[in-house]
Amino acid sequence: SQQGEEDPQALSIQEGENATMNCSYKTSINNLQWYRQNSGRGLVHLILIRSNEREKHSGRLRVTLDTSKKSSSLLITASRAADTASYFCATGLTGGGNKLTFGTGTQLKVEL
């Protein structure tokens, strides 16, 4: 099964609302990263949080990491239509070199 699994699978919100996506993983990790993918495009790196960090901010993004629960959340505040995309978490495993294991993604739709 997937190392990282996001929920919900799909999320539809109105512009201006906050969007929260969750990611769970199974094994010990070195870091966890969030990526965005617009339909038919490549991945854009959003934010990385290391295993010894609990929270990180970047602009309208806030990521939390709870290693005891093996979970992370991505919060997008004041969402915009341009935030419509798929969001993936990816884990870098302890001892796994730089290889990343991706989750199945959350499809976010922000409506006007």
Partner 1 sequence: NAGVMQNPRHLVRRRGQEARLRCSPMKGHSHVYWYRQLPEEGLKFMVYLQKENIIDESGMPKERFSAEFPKEGPSILRIQQVVRGDSAAYFCASSTPQYGYTFGSGTRLTVV
Closest separation in Å from C-beta 78 to partner 1: 26
Residues in the interface with partner 1 (CB under 8 A) total: 24
**Residue from the set 11, 19, 21, 31 that interacts with partner 1 by CB under 8 A:** 31
Query: What is the longest distance spanned by two Cα atoms in the chain?
Result: 44
Distance in angstroms (rounded) separating the CA atoms of residues 64 and 46: 13
Interface positions, 45-84, toward partner 1 (CB under 8 A): 45, 48
**Residue from the set 46, 71, 105, 108 that interacts with partner 1 by CB under 8 A:** 105
Strand 106-111, strand 10-14: pairing? parallel
Distance in angstroms (rounded) separating the CA atoms of residues 41 and 31: 24
Which range in 13-21, 59-67, 75-83, 101-109 contacts partner 1 by CB under 8 A?
Answer: 101-109
Which range in 42-50, 55-63, 66-74, 77-85 contacts partner 1 by CB under 8 A?
Answer: 42-50
Coil/strand/helix, residue 63 = strand
Sign of the torsion angle spanned by Cα atoms 56, 67, 7, 96: positive
If one asks whether residue 98 binds partner 1 (CB under 8 A), the answer comes out as yes
